[in-house]
Amino acid sequence: MASSSVVFQGFTVLPLKIEEKSTCHHYLYVKEHNIRDARDCKPKERTLFVLNVPPYCEEGHFREMFERYGTIQRIFFHSKPTSGPPTVNSSTFFPTAPVIQGYMVAYIVFKKVSSVKAITSLPYDKPLVMHKEGGQSIDTGLNKWIREYKEDVVDTAALQTEIDKYMTEYDEKIQTEIEKAKAAEGVPDEEGWVTVTKYGKNKGAPRTEAHEKALTRKEKKRRKDKELLNFYSFQMRETKREQIANLRKKFEEDKNRIALMKASRKFRPY
């Protein structure tokens, strides 16, 4: 009796063993990648969408498991489903793409449509084997620790080379922007507007007599406003002083009145 595949919510369940002698299974969930906004990097019908990919599973393992069903053109790994390509690091020492940690999703692009159809029809009772004798090994244990330790040791010469290259390209970019701005300075566009930049040739026209008079008027007005502000401040101080003097005078009057009331008080036992 021929075994059949198991499908759960549109995904074909594929058991996976790390080695041939392994008794425990991991499970991959695969289906045809077919969405409306499919990009050129992940064409419809020829792309296999894989869920629950373990972090120790690499591109070489996928090729060993699935290349028997057809030619694999590209393999993409993501932290979550997406239609676009993964972000590529533009620097070795200053990564710009986030590091995928934990379980992943994968997209396997085949050359033919029949390859995806064959994988989504695989039987459930014949698990895939990730690591076979002579194939790509699984980086775990001490070997993984040694590799991560070596990756943490920075090659200072290569780092300095990358920094020098970046600074050279940056200086060239800034110089190009300066030259472009100088060339555009004073040249009107189609609507007659003239672009003014900080790199322009015209550093400012000399002041005219009218300009000097305007500056003099502004300075006089500023001084006058300052004098008026000081006058109001003096007036406020005088008002506060008068209020304090009146309070002190009233306090003395009240104190004298209380003293007179105490002196005129008489003791009357009956």
Residue 194's SS3 state is strand
- What are 133-148's pLDDT values in tens digits? 766 777 777 877 887 7
Q: Give buried/exposed letters for 206-222 (b at 16+ CB in 10 A, else e).
A: eeeeeeeeeeeeeeeee
**pLDDT score at 53:** 93
How do the domains of the chain map onto residue ranges?
Answer: 6-152, 165-204, 205-262
Pick the CATH number of 6-152 from 3.30.565.10, 3.40.50.2300, 3.40.225.10, 3.30.70.330: 3.30.70.330
Q: Give every CB contact of residue 197 below 8 A, 6+ residues apart in sequence.
A: 181, 182, 184, 185
Instruction: Tell me the C-alpha distance between 247 and 120, whole Å.
Output: 97
**pLDDT score at 229:** 60
**pLDDT score at 107:** 94
Cα-atom radius of gyration of the chain, to the nearest Å?
Answer: 42
pLDDT in tens, the chain (270 residues): 456 889 889 999 999 988 888 888 899 999 998 876 656 788 888 999 999 999 888 888 899 899 999 999 999 999 888 888 888 777 777 777 778 888 999 999 999 999 999 999 999 988 888 877 766 777 777 877 887 788 788 888 888 998 999 899 999 998 888 888 777 666 666 676 766 666 655 555 555 677 777 788 888 888 777 666 656 666 777 878 888 999 999 999 999 988 888 887 765 555
Tokens encoding 61: 């393992």
**pLDDT score at 1:** 44
